A and B are shown apart, each in its own frame.
Chain A
Amino acid sequence: MKKFYLLYQTLIDGLAIFGTAVVLVVGGLQVWFRYMTDASLIWSEEVMRYVMLWLVMICAGRAYSARQFLGMRGLVELLPRPAVRAIDLASGVVTIVFLGVIAYYGADFAWRTRLQTASTLNVSLFWIHLAICVGPILLAVHVLVEEVLGFKLTPPSEETSS
């Protein structure tokens, strides 16, 4: 199980590095081509936007476990330990319901927009909008494991990476 999680984490990190690098390089090329040549890039904006959309959705669950989603913890933490656990459990369940609704309607949304094509890339928007189904599912799995099942997925050393 632990091995599987490490594999998953390595994969997500790899995609994170790749996606960020693509946005960086394409952003640089966009400036270069417009300023230095007579042929501005037409597709660069759209590529950056869509890569970023997929990137943040793929990383959302991992970001949750890296404690990047902040809340107002002051009051809750004053309560005794078991009460905190119960509240977090309830919050977790409600959150998973929300994410489930987004994933379900996200799939519906992606399907209903399949006939639209991106304006400069020859891609159906289905493939772009699918991200809003995948991201919430990954997030829900992380919330399930951490708040409902009670496992902490990220070593404390990584918690203050911001």
Chain B
Amino acid sequence: MSWLAGFFVVTLLAGMPIAFVLGVSALGYFYFTDQTQFLLVLPQRMVAGMDHFVLLAIPLFVLAGNIMDVGGLTRRLVGAANSVVGRFRGGLSLTAIWGAFLFGGVSGSAAADAAALGTVLVPDMKRQGYDVDYSAALIAVSSLMAPLVPPSIAMIIYGALSGTSISQLFIAGIVPGVLLACVLSIYAVWTAHRHGYPRTEALPLRRILRGFGEAAPILLLPVIIVGGIRGGIFTATEAAAIAAIYALLVSGLVYRALNWTFLRQAFVSTALITSAIYVLVAVANILAFIFAIERVPQMVVETLTTITDNPVLILLMVNLILLVLGMFLDTIGVLILTVPALTAIGQTLGLDPVHLGVMVIFNVLIGFVTPPVGLCLFIISAVTGRPVEKVSIRALPMLGLALCVLLLITFVPQVVLAVPNLIGGAH
């Protein structure tokens, strides 16, 4: 294991792409521990990692997001959110938060959320006198709601890896998403009062209704997704295909915003993003094999349960480990490496798998906005042209708030489970 860790640290610090960091570390491990008979396992594990039906949700949700982006969807969502919350002090920052919430109902990934909203909103906020680093940080943290509100690529992957019901996870994420939005809203209003950020004029009800009317075809999407899954028309994975087809129809027929160049861009970009994710999933699956033959999950469980048999402390330590991993790895990498150990811990503690899943996902989401490897931080800094460090510092207080929500859902399972229990009847 020390070979693995050594290669990992060196290649990570050298700035190699994470997928290659994992691959080179695995190769170094097999070579220097004299287990070259396992080299044939490498391509086999990579194929096995990629050959999962549920992973097809990734390209399809990304495609839906891309089509909606080129179809002018983001502007309409932002307009709708602004018509309601713009009247309060710091209105535009509230628009960012609730725009991210609405957009999260369409998009399955925080990265897509951060890119789309950052492009649209940051210039506006700058014009109104908002601090740019603060605006960028706010959008980065708000983008974490995308994988909490259904659909969610992270939940699909967690469900696939752990055998947890994906549709139950989808529903269970809604309340934590709303909580995060509320907590961030309070912080944004407080900040706005401190810095005297402006409000926009209050709009008459007629204008609000018109804004929502224009955005209605998009706002319908989460309803269609959840309704279609609950109504037995399609599965959570297939919902991604329906979302993409719906996005094509809405952008093309309702908004008439599609042309060949846009479509080409949407499809190619989808394939490239998906390709990078799949390669990462593939390589992480090699690491999962090493962890299995080294019995890492058992070791983790044993170590944790030897330190303490207090479930509260164990859960806190689980949160801590996930947060640290999330600093260095991306969501899918963390999930593939830890889910076996986590399911074992969950069984030991008798946790509800849906509750555990939402807790784990919330943890790895926070990794999106923690340096050094925070995908959403990278994206937002690329979009705004601000240095990652500056944005990270402004994100710290909001991260603290997100951690409070995490603690709440860790220790009060009912926050997560009430809605699925109400709708699903199961568990």
Q: Which chain A residues have a beta carbon within 8 Å of chain B's beta carbons? A: 13, 16-17, 19-21, 23-24, 27-28, 30-31, 35, 45, 48-50, 52-53, 55-57, 59-60, 62-64, 66, 68-77, 87-88, 90-91, 94-95, 97-99, 101-102, 105-106, 108-109, 112, 128-129, 131-133, 135, 139, 160-162
Contacts and interface: CB of A to CB of B under 8 A. Distances in A.
Contacts of B19: 69
Contact of B56 (A48, A60, A75, A76): A48
Given A49-B56, A70-B17, A98-B23, A20 B371 contact: no
Nearest to A18: B267
A117 to B, nearest CB: 15
Contacts of A71: 12, 15-18, 20-21, 373
Given A70-B378, A98-B27, A162-B111, A91 B56 contact: no
A60 B279 contact: yes
Given A49-B56, A59-B271, A98-B27, A72 B12 contact: yes
B24 interface: yes
Interface in B7-57: 11-21, 23-24, 27, 39-40, 42-44, 46-47, 50-53, 55-56
Contact of B14 (A23, A27, A91, A128): A91
Q: Chain B interface: which size bin? A: 35 or more
B265 to A, nearest CB: 7
Interface stretch (B84-92, B233-241, B299-307): B233-241
B208 interface: no
B101 interface: no
Contacts of A64: 17, 276
A72 B13 contact: yes
A37 to B, nearest CB: 13
B113 to A, nearest CB: 11
A7 B88 CA distance: 54
B278 interface: yes
Given A35-B234, A98-B27, A162-B111, A20 B383 contact: no
Given A73-B15, A94-B11, A24 B43 contact: no
Given A20-B63, A53-B50, A71-B373, 4 more contacts: A55-B271, A55-B275, A71-B16, A131-B47
B47 A68 contact: no
B56 A52 contact: yes
Given A45-B53, A91-B14, A101 B39 contact: yes
B388 interface: yes
Interface in B245-301: 245, 264-265, 267-276, 278-279
A22 to B, nearest CB: 11
Given A72-B15, A98-B20, A106 B245 contact: no
A87 B56 contact: no
Contact of A74 (B20, B50, B371): B371
Contacts, number: 199
Nearest to A94: B24
Closest 7 CB pairs of A and B: A27-B241, A16-B271, A69-B17, A76-B15, A68-B276, A106-B43, A59-B275
Interface in B201-247: 233-234, 238, 240-242, 244-245
A106 B47 CA distance: 9
Contacts of A69: 17-20, 276, 279
A16 B60 contact: no
Pick from A50, A68, A112 the residue with the most CB of B within 10 Å. A68
12 contacts: A16-B271, A35-B233, A60-B276, A62-B275, A68-B275, A70-B378, A74-B388, A75-B15, A91-B15, A98-B20, A131-B47, A161-B272
Nearest to A36: B233
B308 to A, nearest CB: 32
Contacts of A129: 43, 47
Contacts of A21: 267
A99 B26 CA distance: 12
A154 B17 CA distance: 17
Pick from A56, A102, A129 the residue with the most CB of B within 10 Å. A56
B11 A91 contact: yes
A162 B46 contact: no
A97 B43 CA distance: 14
Contacts of B378: 70
A91 B20 contact: yes
A105 to B, nearest CB: 5
Contact of B115 (A66, A88, A162): A162
B403 to A, nearest CB: 22
B379 interface: yes
A31 B241 contact: yes
B413 interface: no
Contacts of A70: 17-18, 276, 330, 373, 375, 378
Given A20-B267, A105-B42, A161-B272, A49 B245 contact: no
